[in-house]
Structure 1
Amino acid sequence: MKIIKLNAIDSTNSYLKQLAKETFLQEETVVLTNRQLSGRGQMGNKWLSREGQSLTFSMFKAFEKLQIEQQFMISMVVSLAIVKALKSLNVPKVTIKWPNDILSANTKIGGILIENVLESSFVKYSIIGIGLNVNETDFPNLPQASSMKLETGKTFQLEEVLDTILKNVFKNLKNISEKDFSEMKQLYENNLFRKERISVFETSEGSQINGIIKGVSDIGELLVETENNPLQKFQLKEVKLIY
């Protein structure tokens, strides 16, 4: 594993993606920054972090024979690895809020942004960005945000948290093309936030609907049972879980 530490940068994902284009990267290269100026989340959202209190880093992972139609496996494996890592650090009630938010109880403590580079019919490599609120205690105007410290009452060593997550993620990503897709999907669904509970969703048109999360499709669509439809499939930009 090779870790590149930077004092400040716009986005670790953007930096690592550019680095991968310009040079041959050692397997399991990680870019870590103390201060991320323009962190990116899903759907163009910003990821805010505080220097010395949170972790913002990106991981490079190349693949062999991982087909394009299997790329949701990367998202599932990474999410589950982070859940396992946080549980080992005694963070309570860790779940995955579809598709890639990490929650403790009902509050968001982390997020994942995965950018896949494709070649022919395969995934060549992934840039996996992770933002994690570790020791922050103040989230003005963000009522659904929290941190590991707020949820546990414990101050964490950033290096220990980083090491635990990196080891879990890279271990889970090894031989990913040989993993049982159905088994991973079942594990992912078992850890889904608000699965089998009535929830409120906002559609891309701005309307709100009630529904029950039943799981995910093989390509990562959210499966929601609504009053008027036994099962609807939603892609990333089509629906937002309000809670």
Structure 2
Amino acid sequence: MYKILANTIFLGKQVLFLPECHSTNDKAFELIRAGVIKDGAIVICDHQTAGKGQRGNKWEAESGQNLTFSLVLKPNFLDVSEQFYLNMMISNSIRRLLQDYLPDLQVKWPNDLVVPGRGKIGGILIENILSSNVWEFAVVGIGLNINQCGFGSRKATSLAQLAGGRYDLEELFKLLISQIELGVIALKKGKLEGVRQDYLRHLFLKDQWNIFAENGLEFEGKISGISKEGRLMVSLRNGGIRSFGLKEISFPDV
């Protein structure tokens, strides 16, 4: 299962499948430090016992029901200041994979995949290795709920719950890596603005007035865009625009 991919040019030519591990991101970093893994390699696991999400959250996933893997990239085609373009490209690739099943799928900043009113189906955690302000490696952790039908959180959902049926995990994996490879090629060709616009077109709550919170204090605003550095731009009801980084703003529930 999850063999070297024949349908790609440079991604997935080194695939490590583990029946179980704590975290595919942690395992990928271990292999990078050991010097045994290269650009485009993938670490995939049937069961993560300590999968990681954004903000230090744990990623909940039943064994053999979902896609949980990490992709190792050497994104020296981007400046360190352009890190968020990688995040946007990965989010766009996942949405494209699932859009035929879930036409309402959106990206919740910075990197959750959600269906408004029905919950979160997936997330991305990108961890970087930088040396003297040079981007050496990016480890792209991806978790997608596919066939799981029971969750501890009411905010979580899956492709099976939303669209019905059961899905071939290996086939979806191959299709997703192909989509990501197209995205990497677009970034290498400098098509950064196209990646950003695609992300903005499917951004959860964009151009909608809502109640947000900062340090527990609520305010009314609407998401108006994303800065080059990946900060969330919010227009305020009483005028002006503010920008927020990770953990600086709280959202309404999906």
Aligned residue in 1 for 2:131: 119
Q: What fraction of aligned residue pairs are identical, expressed as a percent?
A: 32
Which residue of the other structure, out of 18, 25, 45, is the alignment partner of 1:13? 25
State the TM-score, normalized to the length of structure 1.
Answer: 0.93
Unmatched runs of 5 consecutive residues or more in structure 1:
none
Q: Equivalents in 2 of 1:74, 1:131: separation in Å?
A: 16
Deviation at 1:201, TM superposition (A): 1.7
Aligned residue in 2 for 1:27: 39
What are the equivalent positions in structure 2 for 1:136-151 lying under 5 Å apart?
136-140=148-152, 142-151=153-162
RMSD value, Cα = 1.6
Query: SS of the counterpart of 2:99?
Result: helix
Which residue of the other structure, out of 216, 229, 252, is the alignment partner of 1:242? 252
Check if 1:215 corresponds to 2:232. no
Alignment-mate amino acid for residue 89 of structure 2: V
Which residue of the other structure, out of 73, 76, 81, is the alignment partner of 1:61? 73
Q: Equivalents in 2 of 1:65, 1:109: separation in Å?
A: 30
Moved more, 168-177 or 36-45: 168-177
Aligned residue in 2 for 1:202: 213
Q: Is contact 2:186–2:192 with CA below 8 Å preserved after alignment?
A: no
Unmatched runs of 5 consecutive residues or more in structure 2:
1-12
Alignment-mate amino acid for residue 122 of structure 1: V
Query: SS of the counterpart of 1:238?
Result: coil
Q: Equivalents in 2 of 1:201, 1:28: separation in Å?
A: 38
Deviation at 1:170, TM superposition (A): 2.4
Q: Equivalents in 1 of 2:133, 2:193: separation in Å?
A: 21
Query: SS of the counterpart of 1:150?
Result: helix
What are the equivalent positions in structure 2 for 1:22-101 lying under 5 Å apart?
22-88=34-100, 90-101=101-112
Deviation at 1:175, TM superposition (A): 5.7
Q: Equivalents in 2 of 1:237, 1:197: separation in Å?
A: 21
Deviation at 1:105, TM superposition (A): 3.5
Deviation at 1:37, TM superposition (A): 0.8
Query: SS of the counterpart of 1:102?
Result: strand
Deviation at 1:5, TM superposition (A): 0.7
Q: Equivalents in 2 of 1:201, 1:54: separation in Å?
A: 31
Q: Equivalents in 2 of 1:121, 1:232: separation in Å?
A: 27
Q: Equivalents in 2 of 1:50, 1:42: separation in Å?
A: 19
Check if 1:128 corresponds to 2:140. yes
Moved more, 220-229 or 72-81: 220-229
Q: Which has the higher strand share?
A: 1
Deviation at 1:93, TM superposition (A): 0.9
Q: Describe the superposition over 1:84-134 as per-residue Cα deviations: whole angstroms up to 9, x where unpaired.
A: 11114x223111000000112431000000012123343222100001110
Aligned residue in 1 for 2:114: 103
Q: Is contact 1:28–1:170 with CA below 8 Å preserved after alignment?
A: no
Q: Equivalents in 1 of 2:222, 2:196: separation in Å?
A: 18
Q: Equivalents in 1 of 2:77, 2:109: separation in Å?
A: 26
Q: Equivalents in 1 of 2:158, 2:187: separation in Å?
A: 30
State the TM-score, normalized to the length of structure 2.
Answer: 0.89
